[in-house]
Amino acid sequence: PRVLILGAPGAGKGTQSSKIASEFDVEHVTTGDALRANKEMDISEMDTEYDTPREYMDQGELVPDEVVNAIVDEALTQADGFVLDGYPRNPEQAEELEEMTDLDVVLSLDVGEEELVHRLTGRRLDPETGEIYHLEYNPPEDPEVEDRLEQREDDTEETVKERLRVYRENTEPVIDHYDEQGVLERVDGEQAPDEVWEDVKATIEDAA
Protein backbone atom coordinates (compact mmCIF):
# COMPACT_ATOMS: atom_id res chain seq x y z
CA PRO A 1 0.00 0.00 0.00
CA ARG A 2 0.88 3.68 -0.32
CA VAL A 3 0.45 5.15 3.14
CA LEU A 4 0.75 8.75 4.31
CA ILE A 5 1.19 9.24 8.05
CA LEU A 6 0.54 12.72 9.45
CA GLY A 7 0.88 14.09 12.96
CA ALA A 8 2.63 16.67 15.10
CA PRO A 9 6.27 16.46 16.17
CA GLY A 10 6.42 13.62 18.69
CA ALA A 11 3.06 12.11 17.72
CA GLY A 12 4.72 8.76 16.99
CA LYS A 13 5.07 8.89 13.20
CA GLY A 14 8.53 7.32 13.22
CA THR A 15 7.56 4.67 15.77
CA GLN A 16 4.49 3.58 13.83
CA SER A 17 6.13 3.92 10.40
CA SER A 18 8.80 1.37 11.31
CA LYS A 19 6.08 -1.11 12.19
CA ILE A 20 4.14 -0.35 9.01
CA ALA A 21 7.27 -0.80 6.89
CA SER A 22 8.03 -4.26 8.28
CA GLU A 23 4.43 -5.51 8.55
CA PHE A 24 3.41 -4.46 5.03
CA ASP A 25 6.87 -4.76 3.47
CA VAL A 26 6.98 -1.18 2.20
CA GLU A 27 9.65 1.50 2.11
CA HIS A 28 9.83 3.97 5.03
CA VAL A 29 10.27 7.32 3.31
CA THR A 30 11.07 9.95 5.93
CA THR A 31 12.19 13.47 5.11
CA GLY A 32 13.43 14.07 8.67
CA ASP A 33 15.85 11.11 8.59
CA ALA A 34 16.88 11.92 5.01
CA LEU A 35 17.64 15.52 5.94
CA ARG A 36 19.52 14.52 9.10
CA ALA A 37 21.69 12.19 6.98
CA ASN A 38 22.41 15.11 4.62
CA LYS A 39 22.35 17.99 7.04
CA GLU A 40 25.60 19.52 5.84
CA MET A 41 24.57 19.36 2.16
CA ASP A 42 25.38 22.61 0.36
CA ILE A 43 22.07 24.12 -0.75
CA SER A 44 23.35 27.65 -1.30
CA GLU A 45 22.83 27.37 -5.06
CA MET A 46 19.10 27.07 -4.50
CA ASP A 47 18.97 30.68 -3.37
CA THR A 48 17.95 29.72 0.16
CA GLU A 49 18.31 31.77 3.33
CA TYR A 50 20.82 29.35 4.87
CA ASP A 51 23.50 27.23 3.23
CA THR A 52 22.68 23.85 4.85
CA PRO A 53 19.57 21.97 6.06
CA ARG A 54 21.07 21.84 9.55
CA GLU A 55 20.62 25.55 10.11
CA TYR A 56 16.88 25.27 9.53
CA MET A 57 16.47 22.07 11.51
CA ASP A 58 18.39 23.27 14.57
CA GLN A 59 15.97 26.17 14.84
CA GLY A 60 12.88 24.08 14.21
CA GLU A 61 12.12 25.80 10.91
CA LEU A 62 11.09 24.05 7.70
CA VAL A 63 13.84 23.29 5.20
CA PRO A 64 12.95 24.97 1.85
CA ASP A 65 10.39 23.12 -0.28
CA GLU A 66 12.72 22.81 -3.26
CA VAL A 67 15.15 20.71 -1.23
CA VAL A 68 12.52 18.48 0.36
CA ASN A 69 10.42 17.99 -2.77
CA ALA A 70 13.47 16.63 -4.61
CA ILE A 71 14.17 14.12 -1.81
CA VAL A 72 10.62 12.79 -1.80
CA ASP A 73 10.27 12.70 -5.56
CA GLU A 74 13.37 10.54 -5.88
CA ALA A 75 12.43 8.22 -3.02
CA LEU A 76 8.90 7.64 -4.26
CA THR A 77 9.88 6.84 -7.83
CA GLN A 78 12.08 4.06 -6.42
CA ALA A 79 9.44 2.63 -4.09
CA ASP A 80 6.54 0.39 -4.96
CA GLY A 81 4.66 0.66 -1.69
CA PHE A 82 5.69 3.16 0.95
CA VAL A 83 4.89 4.84 4.22
CA LEU A 84 5.59 8.54 3.89
CA ASP A 85 6.54 10.25 7.18
CA GLY A 86 7.26 13.97 7.63
CA TYR A 87 5.94 15.19 4.30
CA PRO A 88 3.89 17.14 3.21
CA ARG A 89 4.34 19.83 5.85
CA ASN A 90 2.66 22.75 4.14
CA PRO A 91 0.00 23.20 1.42
CA GLU A 92 2.63 23.74 -1.31
CA GLN A 93 4.24 20.39 -0.52
CA ALA A 94 0.80 18.75 -0.51
CA GLU A 95 0.24 20.01 -4.04
CA GLU A 96 3.61 18.64 -5.12
CA LEU A 97 2.78 15.26 -3.62
CA GLU A 98 -0.46 15.13 -5.55
CA GLU A 99 1.57 15.44 -8.76
CA MET A 100 3.93 12.67 -7.67
CA THR A 101 1.62 9.85 -6.58
CA ASP A 102 -1.78 8.58 -5.48
CA LEU A 103 -2.31 7.45 -1.89
CA ASP A 104 -4.25 4.49 -0.51
CA VAL A 105 -4.40 5.61 3.11
CA VAL A 106 -4.00 8.97 4.84
CA LEU A 107 -3.57 8.56 8.60
CA SER A 108 -3.39 11.20 11.29
CA LEU A 109 -1.98 10.42 14.74
CA ASP A 110 -3.74 12.75 17.15
CA VAL A 111 -1.88 13.69 20.36
CA GLY A 112 -2.34 16.68 22.70
CA GLU A 113 0.34 19.31 23.09
CA GLU A 114 1.39 18.58 26.66
CA GLU A 115 2.04 14.93 25.83
CA LEU A 116 3.98 15.92 22.70
CA VAL A 117 6.43 18.02 24.70
CA HIS A 118 6.91 15.21 27.20
CA ARG A 119 7.56 12.68 24.45
CA LEU A 120 10.05 14.85 22.60
CA THR A 121 12.12 15.90 25.58
CA GLY A 122 12.32 12.27 26.80
CA ARG A 123 13.11 10.75 23.41
CA ARG A 124 16.46 9.04 22.88
CA LEU A 125 17.86 7.34 19.78
CA ASP A 126 20.20 4.41 19.34
CA PRO A 127 22.78 5.71 16.83
CA GLU A 128 23.69 2.15 15.81
CA THR A 129 20.26 0.80 14.95
CA GLY A 130 18.19 3.96 14.58
CA GLU A 131 15.73 2.53 17.10
CA ILE A 132 13.54 5.13 18.87
CA TYR A 133 13.31 5.00 22.68
CA HIS A 134 11.82 7.08 25.47
CA LEU A 135 13.46 7.41 28.88
CA GLU A 136 10.16 6.75 30.64
CA TYR A 137 7.76 5.12 28.17
CA ASN A 138 10.10 2.88 26.27
CA PRO A 139 13.57 2.51 27.82
CA PRO A 140 16.00 -0.02 26.32
CA GLU A 141 16.51 -3.23 28.29
CA ASP A 142 20.11 -3.73 27.24
CA PRO A 143 22.45 -1.55 29.39
CA GLU A 144 24.89 -1.39 26.50
CA VAL A 145 22.23 0.24 24.36
CA GLU A 146 21.31 2.55 27.22
CA ASP A 147 24.91 3.80 27.40
CA ARG A 148 25.08 4.79 23.77
CA LEU A 149 21.69 6.54 23.51
CA GLU A 150 21.69 10.03 22.00
CA GLN A 151 19.29 12.93 22.11
CA ARG A 152 18.22 14.59 18.87
CA GLU A 153 19.63 18.08 18.52
CA ASP A 154 16.21 19.61 17.96
CA ASP A 155 14.64 17.99 21.03
CA THR A 156 15.52 20.84 23.38
CA GLU A 157 12.60 22.58 25.03
CA GLU A 158 13.07 25.80 23.08
CA THR A 159 13.30 24.16 19.66
CA VAL A 160 10.38 21.87 20.47
CA LYS A 161 8.22 24.92 21.12
CA GLU A 162 9.16 26.39 17.76
CA ARG A 163 8.56 23.09 15.96
CA LEU A 164 5.07 22.93 17.45
CA ARG A 165 4.37 26.51 16.37
CA VAL A 166 5.56 25.76 12.82
CA TYR A 167 3.38 22.65 12.85
CA ARG A 168 0.25 24.58 13.85
CA GLU A 169 0.88 27.28 11.30
CA ASN A 170 1.97 25.21 8.30
CA THR A 171 1.03 21.56 8.72
CA GLU A 172 -2.36 21.67 10.41
CA PRO A 173 -3.89 23.22 7.27
CA VAL A 174 -2.64 20.17 5.34
CA ILE A 175 -4.44 17.83 7.73
CA ASP A 176 -7.60 19.96 7.42
CA HIS A 177 -7.30 19.70 3.65
CA TYR A 178 -7.30 15.87 3.66
CA ASP A 179 -10.10 15.93 6.24
CA GLU A 180 -12.26 18.14 4.00
CA GLN A 181 -11.62 15.75 1.12
CA GLY A 182 -13.03 12.98 3.33
CA VAL A 183 -9.95 10.76 3.06
CA LEU A 184 -8.47 11.32 6.52
CA GLU A 185 -8.38 8.43 9.00
CA ARG A 186 -7.84 9.68 12.54
CA VAL A 187 -6.12 7.44 15.09
CA ASP A 188 -5.92 8.24 18.80
CA GLY A 189 -2.16 8.59 19.21
CA GLU A 190 -2.28 9.08 22.98
CA GLN A 191 -2.81 5.38 23.61
CA ALA A 192 0.06 3.05 24.43
CA PRO A 193 2.28 2.24 21.40
CA ASP A 194 0.80 -1.26 20.97
CA GLU A 195 -2.76 0.04 21.03
CA VAL A 196 -1.92 2.76 18.53
CA TRP A 197 -0.36 0.07 16.35
CA GLU A 198 -3.51 -2.07 16.47
CA ASP A 199 -5.57 0.85 15.21
CA VAL A 200 -3.03 1.83 12.59
CA LYS A 201 -2.74 -1.72 11.29
CA ALA A 202 -6.50 -2.20 11.11
CA THR A 203 -6.96 1.11 9.31
CA ILE A 204 -4.43 0.18 6.64
CA GLU A 205 -5.87 -3.32 6.22
CA ASP A 206 -9.36 -1.88 5.77
CA ALA A 207 -8.23 0.65 3.20
CA ALA A 208 -5.76 -1.37 1.14
Binding residues for AMP: 31, 36, 61-63, 86-89, 93, 152, 163
CA-wise closest residue to 27 among 64, 78, 61: 78
Q: Which residues pair with 133 in a beta bridge?
A: 124
Comparison of 14 and 53: residue with beta carbon closer to Zn ion: 14
Q: Which residues belong to the active site?
A: 13, 89, 123, 152, 163
Contacting ligand AP5 (CB under 6 A), which of 133, 174, 187, 200? 133
Q: State yes or no: residue 60 binds ligand AP5 (CB under 6 A).
A: yes
Closer residue to ligand AP5, CB minimum distance, 48 or 207: 48
SS3 state at 98: helix
62/107 with CB nearer ligand AP5:
62
Q: Are 105 and 3 in contact (CB under 8 A)?
A: yes
Select the residue interacting with ligand AP5 from 2, 14, 94, 204 (CB under 6 A). 14
Q: How far is the CB of 172 from ligand AP5 (least distance, A)?
A: 13
Nearer CB in complex with ligand AP5: 170/183: 170
Work out how close the CB of 125 gets to ligand AP5 at its nearest, in angstroms, rounded to a whole number.
8
CA-based R_g, the chain, Å: 17
| Paired residues of 84 in beta bridges | 4, 29
- Nearest by Cα to 59 from 188, 166, 184: 166
Single out the residue of 190, 32, 7, 5 nearest to residue 114, CA to CA: 190
**Residue 193 site contact among ligand AP5, Zn ion, none (CB < 5 to 8 Å, cut-off depends on kind):** ligand AP5
Q: How many residues does the chain have?
A: 208
From the list 72, 66, 107, the residue with the least C-alpha distance to 87 is 72
Q: Which residues bind ligand AP5 (CB under 6 A)?
A: 7, 9-15, 31-32, 35, 56-57, 60-63, 68, 86-87, 89, 93, 119-120, 122-123, 132-134, 137-138, 154, 163, 191-193, 196
